[in-house]
């Protein structure tokens, strides 16, 4: 699994000779038996990359990396379960390999000044750190789902170890026993609710999903802390003792996908409306870039197929929608970036900005296919602030650790 620190490292990497190599490997499904073709595809991609580098006279340092990637692709192809990402630059002695969920849009190989992070960004957003809690009257199980990996965490909940658990009311009779059982269930729900609140506050997971029987929900709900209720994405009907891991995964992924779509849609509407009223929303590349550099952005929305040029300062990293040759912040020379939606990602990652890629949406199209919802709005002036003056994202300090918490890049 890839951590937030590792992504930050990738986002900050730069090779002046433009030999930073990004390789994404999406395994073919066993169904189409394309293993051999995958290796051929990688070879073709490597050959094409080399040809491009040769035409620029820069092939020497990348050649070794490309050879190594072609060799590796023969090993990757057999695994079938994971996708892979490799980031390499032999000139700087840099080589990183990561396993990813096998949900990339395809196998890709790119060589550039920076690493190509959009596929990673899309995946990470699709997989924040999710807790899935299954509860009944005297049991609870906890799973977490990160980057497509579902794992049951043992030992978080001790089932109340009193006699008769699971044997119904054996050994008791009358209302007294009934009340006692009710009390115990209540205590149990309270214990679970405290645990969930604690886990969210400690960042064990960002959002959570509940599996329980419909009849138990009102009692469980009554015990939940409001903070935990806000972070609950949805619930599904589950028998704690019998539900299969696959069922938990399917339900969790469904609930998560629905909640992300809702959230993306809500944020989109709110951003557009806030931008109209000159409130906490901005639209259009120029304003969005300015807001990102000012540290105001909470959530960034980019059209799935958005492309626009911009310039980037070689000195301070400032991005500018105007194709100016000198940086308005530090005065050094700028260089063109072919795709600003890619160049923006290091900023998004460093500042822990939530990112959604928006699929075709007419309203979004009308405002230019790029927009941001702001945490606050700094003074409206036209001075471009330098990068170092921009306030840090206050949420970042709390968010060390694993990538799931590196907030919803992409589809969510």
Instruction: Provide the minimum distance between the beta carbon of 202 and Zn ion in the complex, in angstroms, as a whole number.
Output: 39
Instruction: Provide the minimum distance between the beta carbon of 344 and Zn ion in the complex, in angstroms, as a whole number.
Output: 16
Nearer to Zn ion, 100 or 310 (CB): 310
Instruction: Provide the minimum distance between the beta carbon of 313 and Zn ion in the complex, in angstroms, as a whole number.
Output: 3
Q: Is the dihedral of CA 162, 166, 172, 174 positive or negative?
A: positive
DSSP sequence for 34-86: -HHHHHHHHHHHHHHHHHHHHHTT-HHHHHHHHHHHHHHHHHHTTT-SEEEEE
Instruction: Provide the minimum distance between the beta carbon of 355 and Zn ion in the complex, in angstroms, as a whole number.
Output: 24
Nearer to Zn ion, 312 or 361 (CB): 312
Q: Between residue 254 and residue 313, which ones bind Zn ion under the rule CB under 5 A?
A: 313
3-class state of residue 145 by DSSP: strand
Instruction: Provide the minimum distance between the beta carbon of 351 and Zn ion in the complex, in angstroms, as a whole number.
Output: 18
Long-range contacts of 72-75 (CB under 8 A, 24+ apart): 72/97, 73/25, 73/38, 73/39, 73/42, 73/43, 74/39
**Binding residue for Zn ion, selected from 330, 384, 390, 396, defined by CB under 5 A:** 330
x-marked contacts with Zn ion along 177-216 as a string, rule CB under 5 A: ----------------------------------------
Residues binding Zn ion: number (CB under 5 A) = 7
Nearer to Zn ion, 135 or 343 (CB): 343
Q: Between residue 308 and residue 327, which ones bind Zn ion under the rule CB under 5 A?
A: 313, 315-316, 318, 327
Rounded CA-CA distance 349/354 in Å is: 9
386 is written with which tokens?
């330098």
Nearer to Zn ion, 340 or 371 (CB): 340
The number of beta carbons lying within 10 Å of the beta carbon of residue 387 is 17
3-class state of residue 319 by DSSP: strand
3-class state of residue 301 by DSSP: strand
**Binding residue for Zn ion, selected from 21, 83, 267, 329, defined by CB under 5 A:** 329
Instruction: Provide the minimum distance between the beta carbon of 330 and Zn ion in the complex, in angstroms, as a whole number.
Output: 3
Rounded CA-CA distance 384/56 in Å is: 34
Pair 295, 376: CB distance under 8 Å: no
Only one of the segments 56-64, 161-169, 178-186, 328-336 lies at the binding site for Zn ion (rule: CB under 5 A); that segment is 328-336
Q: Between residue 133 and residue 152, which ones bind Zn ion under the rule CB under 5 A?
A: none
Q: What is the DSSP letter of 93?
A: T
Residues binding Zn ion (CB under 5 A) = 313, 315-316, 318, 327, 329-330
């Amino acid at each position: 699994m890839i951590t937030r620190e590792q992504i930050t490292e990738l986002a900050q990497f730069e090779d002046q000779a433009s030999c930073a190599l990004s390789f994404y490997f999406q395994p073919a499904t066993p169904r189409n038996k394309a293993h051999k073709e995958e290796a051929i595809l990688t070879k073709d991609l490597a050959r094409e990359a080399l040809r491009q580098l040769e035409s620029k006279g820069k092939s020497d340092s990348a050649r070794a990396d490309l050879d190594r990637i072609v060799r590796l692709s023969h090993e990757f192809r057999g695994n079938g379960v994971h996708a892979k990402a490799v980031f390499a630059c032999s000139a700087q002695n840099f080589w990183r390999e990561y396993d990813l969920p096998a949900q990339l849009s395809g196998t890709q190989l790119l060589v550039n000044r920076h690493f190509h992070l959009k596929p990673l960004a899309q995946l990470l957003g699709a997989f924040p750190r999710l807790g899935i809690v299954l509860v009944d009257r005297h049991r609870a199980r906890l799973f977490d789902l990160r980057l497509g990996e579902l794992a049951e965490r043992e030992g978080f909940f001790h089932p109340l170890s009193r006699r008769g658990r699971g044997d119904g009311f054996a050994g008791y009779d009358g209302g007294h026993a009934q009340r006692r059982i009710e009390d115990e269930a209540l205590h149990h729900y309270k214990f679970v609710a405290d645990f969930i609140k604690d886990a969210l506050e400690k960042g064990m997971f960002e959002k959570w999903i509940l599996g329980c029987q419909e009849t138990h929900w009102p009692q469980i709900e009554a015990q939940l802390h409001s903070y935990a209720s806000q972070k609950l994405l949805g619930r599904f009907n589950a028998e704690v003792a019998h539900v299969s891991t696959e069922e938990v995964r399917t339900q969790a992924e469904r609930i998560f996908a629905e909640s992300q779509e809702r959230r993306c849609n809500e944020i989109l509407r709110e951003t557009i409306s806030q931008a109209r009223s000159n409130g906490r929303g901005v639209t259009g590349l120029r304003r969005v870039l300015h807001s990102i550099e000012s540290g105001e952005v909470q959530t960034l929305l980019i059209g799935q197929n958005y492309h626009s040029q911009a310039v980037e300062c070689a000195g301070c990293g400032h991005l500018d929608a105007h194709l100016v040759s000198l940086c308005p912040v530090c005065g050094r020379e700028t260089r063109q970036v072919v795709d600003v939606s890619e160049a923006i990602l290091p900023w998004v990652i460093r500042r822990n900005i939530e990112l959604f890629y928006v699929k075709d949406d007419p309203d979004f199209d009308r405002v230019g296919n790029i927009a941001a919802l702001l945490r606050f709005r700094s003074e409206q002036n036209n001075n471009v602030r330098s990068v170092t003056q921009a306030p840090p994202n206050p949420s970042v300090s709390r968010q060390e650790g694993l990538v799931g918490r590196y907030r919803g890049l992409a589809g969510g």
